[in-house]
């Protein structure tokens, strides 16, 4: 049975739709690009009940260390963990954040992400993509087996890039809408 991430995101035991059709559907590993079953829970951030679900290999990689959230205050980490959750709830909430106001300002989560890439506050999409590609390539676990520092940097880069990507998409959507709504 092919597991489908979209069915299982969030509250797999409380599924309203399709629950009867695929009761054995499995949650997938939350690591981007991994299609193994996600059976190992791992806290998303300190002091938060939210969990990632990874396959064994990625849970081990995750548990070797993650210092991205350590650099943030608890409140920021909580906010960021929410921002990184895929799905309508995060997008709904993002509508009320400070981005997309037309002045080009970035949220604190974005500023933290840019700092991780050593990029200036006004870095453009090309610079962000290039920095992310470089970090991901330099620190990829496949090329750095048994190197916990590289694993940490790799995961931090993935998380930071996701923050920037989601925010940019949100801004683009906000910029495209007003003409129709006004």
Binding of residue 29 to Zn ion (CB under 5 A): yes
**Contact with Zn ion (CB under 5 A): which of 40, 55, 157, 160?**
55
Residue placing its CB nearer to Zn ion in the complex, 31 or 106: 31
Helix (H) or strand (E) holding 53: strand 51-54
Residue placing its CB nearer to Zn ion in the complex, 111 or 150: 150
Q: Decide if 163 contacts 119 (C-beta within 8 A).
A: no
**Cα angle: 101, vertex 107, 109; to 5 degrees:** 155
Residue placing its CB nearer to Zn ion in the complex, 136 or 168: 136
Residue placing its CB nearer to Zn ion in the complex, 3 or 168: 3
Helix, coil or strand: residue 19: coil
Select the span of 40-48, 50-58, 69-77, 156-164 touching Zn ion (CB under 5 A).
50-58
**Beta partners for residue 51, in sequence order:** 43
Q: List, in order, residues 6 or more apart from 79 with CB less than 8 Å away.
A: 109
Binding of residue 34 to Zn ion (CB under 5 A): yes
Binding of residue 171 to Zn ion (CB under 5 A): no
Residue placing its CB nearer to Zn ion in the complex, 29 or 109: 29
DSSP 51: E
Residue placing its CB nearer to Zn ion in the complex, 29 or 119: 29
The count of chain residues that interact with Zn ion, using the rule CB under 5 A, is 6
Block residue for tokens 């990874």:
54
**Contact with Zn ion (CB under 5 A): which of 58, 106, 132, 152?**
58
For the CA atoms of 61, 62, 67, 71, the dihedral, rounded to the nearest 10 degrees, stands at 160
Select the span of 25-33, 84-92, 103-111, 125-133 touching Zn ion (CB under 5 A).
25-33
How many CB atoms neighbour CB 91 within 10 A?
15
Binding of residue 36 to Zn ion (CB under 5 A): yes
DSSP 42: E
**Which residue ranges make up the site for Zn ion (CB under 5 A)?**
29, 31, 34, 36, 55, 58
């Amino acid at each position: 049975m092919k597991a489908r991430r979209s069915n299982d995101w969030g509250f797999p035991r409380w599924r309203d739709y399709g629950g009867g059709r695929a009761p054995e559907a499995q949650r997938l590993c939350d690591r981007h690009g991994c299609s193994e079953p996600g059976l190992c829970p791992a806290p998303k951030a300190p002091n938060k009940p939210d969990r990632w679900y990874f396959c064994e290999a990625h849970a081990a990689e995750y548990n070797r260390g993650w210092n991205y959230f350590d650099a943030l205050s608890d409140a920021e980490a909580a906010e960021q963990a929410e921002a990184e959750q895929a799905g309508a709830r995060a997008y709904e909430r993002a509508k009320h954040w400070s981005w997309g106001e037309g002045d080009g300002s970035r949220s604190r989560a974005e500023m933290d992400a840019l700092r991780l890439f050593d990029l200036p506050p006004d870095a453009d999409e090309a610079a962000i993509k290039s920095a992310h590609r470089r970090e991901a390539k330099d620190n990829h676990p496949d090329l750095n087996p048994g190197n916990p520092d590289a694993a940490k940097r790799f995961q931090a880069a993935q998380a930071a890039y996701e923050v920037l990507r989601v925010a940019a998409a949100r801004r683009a959507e906000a910029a495209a809408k007003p003409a129709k709504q006004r």
